[in-house]
Each structure stands twice: as structure tokens, then as C-alpha cells.
Amino acid sequence: MSIKQLQPGRKVVFHQPKPADGADSAWILAVVVKYVGPDKHGGKYEVQDAEPQDDGKPGP
């Protein structure tokens, strides 16, 4: 099954960027917010962490 454009609200597994302190990044549950546009990897997306931030701050 090849990946087609993902619709907003679709649950995905997202590989978080590696933390600045060098710790291992994690695979987390996230939700597609929107399709941003095409790119060489098949598409750019905004995804939102399914868990709220510990410090209450929103993402970048």
C-alpha cells in the first residue's frame, strides 16, 4: 500500500526530531493537522502531538 495524501485528523506515528541534548528521539502518536504541499519525499505535513506538552507551552 503506497501512501496517498493524508487527510486532516488521520492518526499517524511520528518520529520526533532528535533532542538537542543528544537523547534518543521517540516514535509518538500524532494527528495530521494539514497538508502543506508537495516535496521530494511525497509531501509536507503539519502534525500535532497527541499528548499535551508537559510545560503547557505550545509547539514552535
Q: How far is the CB of 5 from other proteins (least distance, A)?
A: 9
Q: How far is the CB of 38 from other proteins (least distance, A)?
A: 10
Angle at CA 36, nearest 5°, toward 14 and 26?
A: 10
C-alpha Rg value of the chain to the nearest Å: 13
How many Å separate Cα 37 from the centre of its chain? Answer: 15
Identify the three-state secondary structure at position 16: coil
Tell me the per-residue interface mask from 9 to 48 with other proteins, x by CB under 8 A, - otherwise: -xxxxxxxx-x-x-xxxxxxxxxxx--x--x-xxxxxxxx
- Using CB under 8 A, list all residues that contact other proteins: 1-4, 6, 10-17, 19, 21, 23-33, 36, 39, 41-54, 56, 58-60
